[in-house]
Structures are given as C-alpha cells and as structure tokens.
C-alpha cells in the first residue's frame, strides 16, 4: 500500500529537488562501488533487459528463479532471450545446485537472492563455471547484503542490476541502474530521455498518497482509497511500471537513490521481507484485515507474480513444484509497517505456521 517511508522521509521525497549533477554523482558512485560502467535506467526491469542485451545473443537460454516477479520474466523476453525456470528450496526461496542440475541448456543465470536471502554463492559460481554460464546479479532485494563467504552482492557477476522501485532495498518509488562489470558482447546505448511527466508525478507523490491510505486503514478506508487511486492512474502498481529502454529516472530520484546507497554503505544493512509458510492463508489474511493489516500485496501469490500476469508466463509447474508449494503457502510482512506495528500480526500468523516452520 505504501513505500517504507516515515513522515519526514515522505516529505523529503515529495519536495526533493534534483539536478543534472545528481545523475553524474549517482553514476560515479555506482561505478566505483561495483567496479564497472554504470548506466541509469527508468526502472529495474529496463536495467535488467539492457544488461542481458549486453552479454547474450538472441535466443540464448537464461536461468531465472522459479519464484520471482513478472518484471524479471519480461526483461528476459524483451532482451530476446529464453527464460529457463529453476525450482527453489523451501528453506531460503532460492535455487541451488540440486535444483539447477535439472536444467540441460542455458547461457546465463540471474542471481536474485530472494527477499534478501543470499544464495550459496560458491556453489552457484562452481555450477556456472562448470556449465560456462555468465552470471548477472539482480540486487532489487539485496543491495548491501553479503553472501555467506563475506563478499557483497553485486561484486560477483558480469553485471549487477539495481531497482529503485517500491519496497526494494533502495526505494525511490521508481528508477534503476545497471553496472557492466566485464567486457560485454554488444554495445549498449545508455538511456537519455527524461521520464514522462505522468510517471514523474506518480513517483513524486506516491509516498504521500500511500501514507494517507495507510492512515485510513485504521478506519478500514485505506484499501478503498488506494484502489480508487489506481483506477484513476494517480498510483501505478509496481508490476505495471512499463519497461522502457530509452528513459532514465527523474533527477530527484537519482538524488534520493544516492542518499540511500550511501546510508546503506555505512550501515551494511538492507530492508528484508520477513516471511512465513502457513496453512489457510485466506483465513489468515482476513484475520489480519480485521485487525487493520492489509497484506494483499505480499510477494508472491503465484510462482511468478502478480497473478494477473501469470498466464502469460506459461510457468512449468511440473518441474518447479517447490515454487508452486511456496506460492500457495507464503505470507510476508510488508515494509510499510514498523517492526513494532507488526508484533500483533506475527501473533495472528503464529498458530497457522506449517509444522516444519514452527
């Protein structure tokens, strides 16, 4: 319903003023941090599509997490490549060597680190080397997170991709970036067009509108207002943020992204989504709603979410059974509530945990 903004952050976002210099400073920071050529993009899926175009030939197979969002699938398709879904472990929502071994042919692999849970990077690197796969790291969930061996996410692959979208590790409502860390096969044209005015205004005012809706949830009106705002296009659902290879983020978003990245560098932390596997999810969601919690936007209700795009994916449910199981049982805690506010929600969820989760 709203990005993870406090009152002060909400006002800072709404009235922030960006300059052309903010593009340059963000680009330089990313280039130094991730040791490559940084390019700013309209959103994370656009950045991912451009990164894929840089390193692969049309028709190449690319391994992606079997539990993901439509944006990743869309980026692979727009790049002219073939998405190859790998099933996941129910323990950390990531693929591993065991689930990857079922895949016969691919040229690359996207590491997602689902909900901020890092993969066993040494095992994945070993698999990629054995099968001659180029690694692309998607940092939407995991900017600032470290792998079990101590290396930071984004410092392993041929390219690293960031999303600055709602509820991501770096959240400016929209925007993204890619860092090309090794020589690419194809030259990529950096986006130069500014965002459309409508996109710019939606990104600027979303935290304020979201905060109003969040406040109204206590009298059960927040959900209705948010649905109205979506219907009249004052608010855009994350999955509907159009992929565009020619546009870059707003200047003010570049300024805010740099501020958050610097803060992330100092703290070494990143916002994560706390998740549980439960029985009777619809019952739990209704109980949560009665207590003022609206979790309808949890990640993910289908193996490739949101549900309204699922039929387009033609997801291989027979070969990704763990992903199907998790999608039927997962509930995760939105970032727009504080940890303290979520304590009663955890108590509501606790009796419904799957036996192995208790």
C-alpha dist (Å) from residue 278 to 80, 87, 103, 348: 38, 20, 29, 11
Q: What does the angle CA 56 – CA 57 – CA 62 come to, to the nearest 5 degrees?
A: 55
- pTM assigned to the model: 0.93
| Mean pLDDT of the chain, nearest integer | 91
**pLDDT tens, position by position, 102-121:** 888 899 999 999 999 999 99
Task: Read off the pLDDT band of 1 (50, 70, 90).
Answer: very low
Q: For residue 158, which of 316, 35, 252, 21 has the smallest C-alpha distance?
A: 35
DSSP 217-284: GGGT-HHHHHHHHHHTTSS--GGGS---TTB---HHHHHHHHHHHHHHHHH-------EEEBS-HHHH
What residues does each domain of the chain span? 7-180, 275-357
Whether 134 shows a pLDDT value over 80: the answer reads yes
**Percent of the chain surpassing pLDDT 90:** 74
Task: Write down the residue that tokens 């390193």 correspond to.
Answer: 55
- The Cα–Cα gap between 112 and 69 comes to 10
DSSP 3-state helix, strand, coil percentages of the chain (rounded to 5)?
45, 15, 40
- The Cα–Cα gap between 234 and 203 comes to 10
Least confident of 86-95, 220-229, 322-331: 220-229
Residue 332 main-chain phi, psi, to 5 deg: -130, 155
Res 261: pLDDT: 95
**pLDDT tens, position by position, 258-286:** 999 998 866 666 667 889 999 999 999 99
Res 46: pLDDT: 98
CA 141 from chain centre, in angstroms, equals: 5
Fold topology of 7-180: 3.40.640
**Percent of the chain surpassing pLDDT 70:** 95
Res 267: pLDDT: 63
Whether 246 shows a pLDDT value over 60: the answer reads yes
Task: Read off the pLDDT band of 7 (50, 70, 90).
Answer: low
- The Cα–Cα gap between 317 and 299 comes to 18
**pLDDT tens, position by position, 178-225:** 999 999 999 999 999 999 999 999 999 998 888 888 778 777 788 788
Res 334: pLDDT: 82
Task: Write down the residue that tokens 């909900």 correspond to.
Answer: 115
């Amino acid at each position: 319903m709203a990005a993870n903004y406090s009152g002060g952050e909400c006002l800072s976002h709404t009235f922030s003023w960006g300059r052309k210099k903010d593009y340059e400073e963000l680009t330089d920071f990313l280039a130094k941090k991730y040791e490559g050529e940084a390019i700013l993009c309209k959103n994370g899926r656009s950045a991912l599509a451009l990164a894929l175009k840089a390193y692969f030939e049309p028709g190449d197979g690319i391994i992606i997490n079997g539990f993901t969002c439509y944006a990743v699938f869309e980026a692979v398709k727009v790049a002219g490549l073939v998405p190859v879904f790998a099933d996941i472990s129910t323990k950390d929502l990531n693929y591993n060597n065991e689930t990857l071994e079922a895949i016969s042919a691919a040229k690359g692999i996207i590491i997602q680190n689902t909900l901020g849970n890092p993969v066993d990077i040494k095992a994945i690197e070993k698999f990629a080397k054995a099968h001659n796969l180029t690694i692309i790291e998607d940092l939407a969930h995991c900017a600032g997170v470290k792998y079990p061996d101590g290396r930071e996410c984004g410092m392993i692959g041929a390219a690293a991709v960031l999303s600055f979208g709602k509820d991501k590790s770096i959240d400016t409502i929209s925007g993204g970036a890619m860092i090309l860390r090794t020589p690419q096969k194809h030259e990529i044209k950096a986006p130069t067009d500014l965002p459309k005015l409508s996109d710019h205004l939606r990104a600027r005012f979303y935290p304020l509108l979201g905060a109003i809706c969040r406040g109204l949830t206590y009298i059960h009106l927040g959900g209705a207002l948010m649905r109205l705002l979506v219907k009249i296009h004052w608010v855009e659902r994350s999955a509907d943020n159009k992929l565009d290879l020619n546009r870059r983020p707003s200047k003010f978003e570049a300024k805010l992204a740099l501020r958050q990245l610097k803060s992330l560098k100092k703290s070494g932390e990143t916002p994560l989504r706390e998740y549980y596997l439960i029985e009777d999810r619809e019952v739990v969601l209704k109980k949560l709603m009665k207590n003022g919690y609206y979790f309808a936007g949890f990640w993910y209700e289908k193996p490739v979410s949101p549900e309204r795009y699922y039929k387009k994916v033609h997801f291989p449910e027979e070969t990704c059974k763990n992903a199907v199981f998790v999608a039927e049982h997962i509930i995760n805690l939105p970032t727009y509530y504080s940890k303290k506010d979520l304590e009663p929600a955890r108590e509501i969820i606790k009796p419904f945990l799957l036996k192995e989760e208790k």
